[in-house]
Structure 1
Amino acid sequence: MAYAESRIIRVIKGRRPKVVVIGGGTGLPVILNALKEKNAEITAIVTVADDGGSSGAIRNYINVVPPGDIRNVLAALSDLPQESKDIFQYRFDSSDSFFAGHAIGNLIIAALNEMHGNIFDAVQSLSKMMKVDGHVFPASNEPLTLNAEFVDGSREAGETEITSKDKRIKRIWVTDTNDDKEPEAVLPVLASIMQADAVVLGPGSLFTSILPNLMISNLGEAVRQTKAEVIYICNIMTQKGETDHFSDADHVRIINKHLGGNYIDTALVNGAKIDMSKFNPADYDEYLEPVSSDFAGLREQNCRVITDDFIDQRHGLVFHDGEKVAKEIIDLAFEAHCRRGENNG
Structure 2
Amino acid sequence: MKKPRITVIGGGTGIPVILRSLRHKDVDITAVVTVADDGGSSGNLRNIMKLTPPGDLRNVLVAMSDMPKLYERVFQYRFDQTDGALAGHPLGNLIIAGISEMQGSTYNAMQLLTKFFHVTGKIYPASETALTLHAVFQDGHEVAGESSISQYDGMIERVYVTNAYNEDVPKASRKVVDAIMNSDMIVLGPGSLYTSILPNLVIPEIRQALIETKADVTYICNIMTQYGETEHFSDADHVAVLNRHLGSDVIDNVLVNVKKVPREYMASNEFDEYLVQVEHDFEGLRREAKTIVSSNFLRLENGGAFHHGYLVAEELMHLVRKKS
Shorter-normalised TM range = over 0.9
Return structure 1 stretches of 4+ with deviation > 6 angstroms: none
Helix, strand or coil at the partner of 2:99: helix
Instruction: Tell me what 1:70 maps to.
Output: 57
Query: Deviation string for 1:110-133 (max 9, x for gaps)?
Result: 111111211111111111111111
Match of 2:239 among 243, 248, 252: 252
Which of the two has greater helix per residue? 1
What residue identity is the alignment partner of 1:52?
G
* 1:83 paired residue number: 70
How far 1:302 moved relative to its partner? 3.7
**SS of residue in 1 equivalent to 2:302:** helix
CA deviation vs aligned residue, 1:54-93 (integer Å, no higher than 9, x gap): 1011111111111000000001111221211211111111
Alignment match of 2:89 (pick from 96, 102, 110): 102
Identify which of 281, 290, 296 aligns with 2:283. 296
* 2:101 paired residue number: 114
- Runs of 5+ consecutive residues of structure 1 not aligned to the other structure: 1-12, 339-345
Question: Cα offset for 1:147?
Answer: 0.6
Deviates more, 1:37-46 or 1:17-26: 37-46
Match of 1:273 in 2: 260
Alignment partners' CA distance in 1, 2:200 and 2:40:
20
State the match for 1:150 in structure 2: 137
Distance 2:274 2:288 in 1: 26
What secondary structure sits across from 2:237 in the alignment? helix
Q: Which amino acid aligns with 2:224?
A: M
Could you give the per-residue CA deviations for residues 21-74 of structure 1, whole angstroms, max 9, x where no partner exists? 000011211100110122321111000000011101111111111100000000
Q: CA deviation at 1:286?
A: 0.5
How far did residue 335 of structure 1 move?
Answer: 2.2
AA matched with 1:44:
A
Counting only pairs closer than 5 Å after superposition, residues 184-263 of structure 1 correspond to structure 2 as 184-263=171-250
Aligned partner letter, 1:159: E
Distance 1:40 1:272 in 2: 28
Q: How far 1:187 moved relative to its partner? A: 3.4
CA drift of 1:247 comes to 0.3
* Aligned mates of 2:293, 2:32 — CA distance in 1: 24
CA distance in 2, matches of 1:241, 1:315: 23
Which piece of structure 1 moves more, 246-255 or 310-319? 310-319
The CA distance in 2 between the partners of 1:276 and 1:17, in whole Å, is 39
Does residue 128 of structure 1 match 2:115?
Answer: yes
How many angstroms apart in 1 are the aligned matches of 2:232 and 2:290? 21
- 1:278: how far off? 2.5
In the alignment, structure 2 segments of 5+ residues that lack a partner are none
Residue in structure 1 matched with residue 298 of structure 2 by the alignment: 311
Equivalent residue, structure 2, for 1:55: 42
Residue in 1 that maps onto 2:149: 162
Distance 2:48 2:290 in 1: 43
Matches within 5 A, 1:21-32: 21-32=8-19
CA distance in 2, matches of 1:228, 1:167: 35
Match of 1:334 in 2: 321
Equivalence for 1:286: 273
User: Is contact 1:228–1:333 with CA below 8 Å preserved after alignment?
Assistant: no
Structure 2 distance, partners of 1:314, 1:158, is 30
Contact 2:19 / 2:63 at 8 angstroms: preserved in 1? Answer: yes
Of 8, 15, 29, the match for 1:42:
29
Q: Give, in whole Å, the separation in 1 of the partners of 2:289 and 2:229.
A: 24
Residue 283 (structure 1) shift: 1.1
How far apart in 2 are the matches of 1:263 and 1:98? Answer: 45
Tell me the distance in 1 between the aligned counterparts of 2:200 and 2:88. 26
User: Match of 2:85, SS?
Assistant: coil
2:216–2:252 Cα contact (<8 Å) kept: yes
Partners in 2 of 1:39 and 1:111 — Cα distance?
A: 33
Alignment correspondent of 1:183: 170
- Percent identity reads 49
Which has the greater radius of gyration?
Answer: 1
Q: How many residues align?
A: 324
CA RMSD of aligned residues (A): 1.0
Cα distance in 1, alignment partners of residues 106 and 316 from structure 2: 29
What TM-score results when the alignment is normalised by the length of structure 2? 0.98
| TM-score, length of structure 1 as denominator length | 0.92
Paired with 1:137 and 1:277, the residues of 2 have a C-alpha distance of: 38
What is the CA–CA distance in structure 1 between the aligned matches of 2:322 and 2:163, rounded to whole Å?
38
User: Could you tell me whether the CA contact under 8 Å between 1:197 and 1:334 is conserved in 2?
Assistant: no
- Kept after mapping to 2: 8 A contact 1:166/1:240: no
Q: Deviations over 1:210-239 (max 9, x none)?
A: 000001000111111111110000000000
Give the SS at the match of 1:312.
strand
Q: Alpha-carbon deviation of 1:276?
A: 2.4
SS of match in other structure, 1:292: coil
Aligned residue type for 2:298: I
